[in-house]
Structure 1
């Protein structure tokens, strides 16, 4: 997963491009729903003004029937859009989950020694689960809600520049506040997701070693470590929730100002006869129409922070590359192979003490070698070197047919070696 673009755009291109037909249909449905949401209030204004002018009953019934029909159509569109978005989200996340799991399986043993299975499960499954809405509808709906904002403001300016200016100032101010909160939320969500992964990794490892913990009398120590991880997670969650409280209360303040601005701007115009009763209702309907998308936008911004935090962690995991690279590839015979260790030395990265020192021996094809030694003497390490889970620190390991034809183990592909 090498890319010069941001991880967000790369993920969208990689996992939504195969579903571009569904994505285009979803965008079309969402924008059609927004168009109906902007058009319906015009029918209400027509109905109110027609009733005030004592127009014919046919005109009133026609406006009411059209309004009801469009409302039903809008709900049907939203229903179909929800189904398509879920289909897109699950298809994309399942593919991402598979790619991430395969990438982890290809990493070296050194990586798996420093990352517990519980942590990897949380990063492969938990972080990817956070992206379901990001792939399915978050981006489209966020863009749609912003377009609805713009559409409402344009129509309010059409009704009167005073009204449009007043509500625009409130809306623009709210966007700056939301952006400021967004910048502060993402790092907090990243820390929370990291703390959660550490906790689950600790739990998985300790639950698998309960008997050893009891036998060694380490129950108290283990519980103290558990309390430490739980405290770190709780503190990270508290930092997120404290800022989230401001996010939740934001629409109340914003729309208090928006309704006040609309009232102050439309009142004089109504009493001077510039605006009809239907137009005044239309203005407040549009302001109220902005409230739902703003709540949705704030919720989507919160979900986007979780998604972006997970994307950063997924990108960091994809960025880890195996230190042991495949060779150019050689033809590995199906017959029994000769094995030669030529002055092989090896030590693990986290320990400078050599496990194997200047080891040399040869095995003819079909010959069996038994290894005896105390724990930690390097018996298992020889097998790991032979299958290229590790590479020797010094020396060479060669395989051959026993007739003088041999190759360095590092020239072969790991899959070919491990397939034997």
Structure 2
């Protein structure tokens, strides 16, 4: 049997088995119980045949009372085996899929940034939730139930030929018809399931994105357009389901009709054989019961095959994630830097896509240990890109970057990001406590260091208020906090682990002037002898720095101490004058409120 994309059942089981292997003894135990259960259920018609032919027809009722006890005992054992196999198999499936979900999420954490830029969030959420649930359903009872049903049908077919070859011929004719109908159903049902999964992923991606940006839709009065787009996607999803329902709707009645036809043939032919004395009444009753049991799993095949196809499609989509190579940045060497170290950009050239425009062009820059450097320039000059390269969120297209005389392209990004931290203007906040948003689930020394800094900042009203809210659960994106509190969390998150290098992407511009001064004083005290890189979009909020680097169209056009650049007719001085005039012309002071957003999502 082959399914989606030509993948065989054997290949499917081979890829799922590693998650079942740790629980194989429990799984095999459930399989044994299932085999015993199927075997016991097959004995029931034989007990009926024995009771009718040996005791009821001859009128020996009292002698056959023992069969009632045997029948009751068999039913009791069947109930016990149903419980045992269900428990063993379901527990195995839940634990195996728990491991698969964890493995998938762990792999997602290692994928490069470019992967997430290509994939809608809703689609990835569907992979880790709905698709894993589909696999869990088929592993729990679906696949074993199908195996048991096929085995039972084959065993029953053999028993029918053993009981009465003449009656078995009539069953064989309709059984061939059932096989043909089932293959036809499989062909169309598989295509329908693929369409359903495709539309579901698109619908989930749309909802994830547009519900998250619903305030933007409302502000720009785009609700009607968004609703029409949803209607289009919803209609496509519904149509795919209607197509699937059509195929499932015709399959069940056809199988039932063939069952009725077979039953009629068995009753007519069996009645004639009984009348002729060539068949006992018990044999006819047992044969009829076996015929009903033969068609029961075939009639339920539509539902089981539906679950089976969903699992195949789901597994194939999950494998697309697993087959995506992890970010090479996580396969480097340990960072070997023991003290303050210089940062060197050597002929760094970069673009985001192979055929995209150059964002950085032959950048050469050395930042000395403990130096405070400001990166300034117009929007799109490459300031944030330069910081992203330093963090190994991307690697240079050409050139190299060194940290402490060690090429960061050879360093494990996890080590690098422990030494270099970036504070964003718009931090991403999780629906957890403020404390966990600062520590990001670290403990131990990070918690102690954070408490020390809270003590250092106890004179600050903003930080003091945030300290009182440390154990409060934040709403989505921290919507129950003020902007200044969200920004304070971002700053504390950046310095909580005492990094060697601190990158601030206009990080403090959303704070009030007093809090901004307090936090800068703290940063200066705890990073003395370390490196600070400031990305300044608004120059009138720029704090004291040792050197200013001016980027223009991806190139360094000038650099030097800010006082020196201001004394001459420099690009930096021109940018500062232009921004001051823009602030004056807009009727607002050049103050650090109302900044343009720089998001940590990037």
Question: Shared fold (TM-score greater than 0.5)?
Answer: yes
CA drift of 1:35 comes to 0.7
- Structure 1 unmatched runs, 5+: 401-405
Counterpart pick for 1:384 among 382, 388, 394: 388
The answer for the alignment partner of 1:31 in structure 2 is 35
* 1:96 partnered with 2:95: no
Structure 2 equivalent of residue 411 of structure 1: 410
Quick check: 2:256–2:299 contact (8 Å CA) kept in 1? no
Counterparts of 1:220 and 1:190 in 2: how far apart (Å)?
30
Give the SS at the match of 1:357.
strand
Q: What does residue range 121-270 of structure 1 map to in structure 2 within 5 Å?
A: 121-270=125-274
- The question of whether the paired residues in 2 share the 8 Å contact of 1:16 and 1:135 is answered with no
Larger CA deviation: 317-326 vs 179-188: 317-326
Q: 1:118 to 1:327 in 2, by over 3 A?
A: closer
| CA deviation profile, 1:225-268 (whole Å, cap 9, x unmatched) | 22222122122212211212122323212202221232243233
Q: Deviations over 1:323-353 (max 9, x none)?
A: 6454551442242332111111212128712
Task: Select which of 362, 365, 368 maps to 2:366.
Answer: 362
What is the rounded CA distance, in whole Å, between the counterparts of 1:85 and 1:379 in structure 2?
Answer: 55
- The residue number in structure 2 matching 1:74 is 78
Distance 1:376-1:89 versus aligned 2 partners, 3 A rule: same
Question: Counterparts in 2 of 1:294-305, with a 5 A limit?
Answer: 294-305=298-309
Output one character per residue of 1:271-292: Cα deviation in whole Å (capped at 9) or x when no partner.
Answer: 1212111111111111112232
Q: Could you say what secondary structure the match of 2:339 adopts?
A: coil
CA distance in 2, matches of 1:351, 1:376: 18
- Please say if residues 145 and 297 of structure 1, whose CA atoms lie closer than 8 Å, have aligned partners that are also in contact: no
Q: Does the 8 Å contact 2:350/2:396 carry over to 1?
A: yes
1:274 alignment partner, SS class: coil
From 342, 349, 357, give the equivalent of 2:346: 342
Alpha-carbon distance in structure 2 between the residues aligned to 1:258 and 1:375: 77
Gaps of 5+ in 2: 1-6, 420-602
Secondary structure of 2:343's counterpart equals: strand
**1:403 maps to which residue?**
none
Q: SS in structure 2 opposite 1:336?
A: coil
Q: Is the 8 A contact 2:110 2:327 kept in 1?
A: no
Q: What is the aligned partner in structure 2 of residue 9 from structure 1?
A: 13
Q: Which has the larger radius of gyration?
A: 2
In 2, the alpha carbon distance for the partners of 1:353 and 1:286 equals 72
Mark the CA change 1:122 to 1:175 in structure 2 (over 3 Å): closer, same or farther: same
Alpha-carbon distance change, 101 to 327 in structure 1, aligned in 2, over 3 angstroms: closer
How far residue 55 of structure 1 moved from its aligned partner, in angstroms, is: 4.9
Contact preservation (8 Å) 1:186, 1:305: yes
Distance (Å, rounded) in 2 between the aligned partners of 1:319 and 1:178: 33
Deviations 1:2-30 (A, max 9, x none): x9996512333211121111121111111
Offset, 1:74: 0.4
RMSD: 2.2
> How far is 1:300 from its partner?
1.1
Q: In structure 2, what is the Cα distance between the partners aligned to 1:147 and 1:338? A: 70
CA distance in 1, matches of 2:354, 2:198: 23
Q: Quote the offset at 1:360 in angstroms.
A: 1.1
Question: TM-score, normalised to structure 2's length?
Answer: 0.65
What's 1:115 paired with? Answer: 119
Shift of 1:166: 1.8
- Summarize the Cα distance change of 1:7–1:203 in structure 2 as closer, same or farther, 3 Å threshold: farther
8 Å CA contact 1:326, 1:411 repeated in 2: no
Q: Matched residues in 2 for 1:98 and 1:108: separation?
A: 18
Shift of 1:156: 0.9
Work out the CA distance in 2 between the residues paired with 1:251 and 1:186: 19
Change (3 A) 1:4 1:330: farther
Output the CA distance in 1 between the equivalents of 2:221 and 2:397.
Answer: 38
* CA–CA distance in structure 1, aligned partners of residues 8 and 303 of structure 2: 30
Aligned-partner Cα distance in 2 for 1:277–1:254: 24
Q: TM-score by structure 1 length?
A: 0.92
Q: Would the alpha carbon gap of residues 4 and 181 (structure 1) be closer, same or farther in structure 2, given more than 3 Å must change?
A: closer
CA–CA distance in structure 2, aligned partners of residues 256 and 362 of structure 1: 85
CA distance in 2, matches of 1:212, 1:357: 35
SS at match of 2:150: helix
Which has the higher relative contact order, 1 or 2, with Cα contacts under 8 A spaced 6 or more apart? Answer: 1
Q: Does 1:308 align with 2:312?
A: yes
> How much has 1:303 moved relative to structure 2?
0.9
Is 1:353 the counterpart of 2:357? The answer is yes
In the alignment, is residue 286 of structure 1 matched against residue 285 of structure 2? no
CA deviations on 1:302-337 (whole Å, 9 max, x unpaired) are 110111111121122222224645455144224233
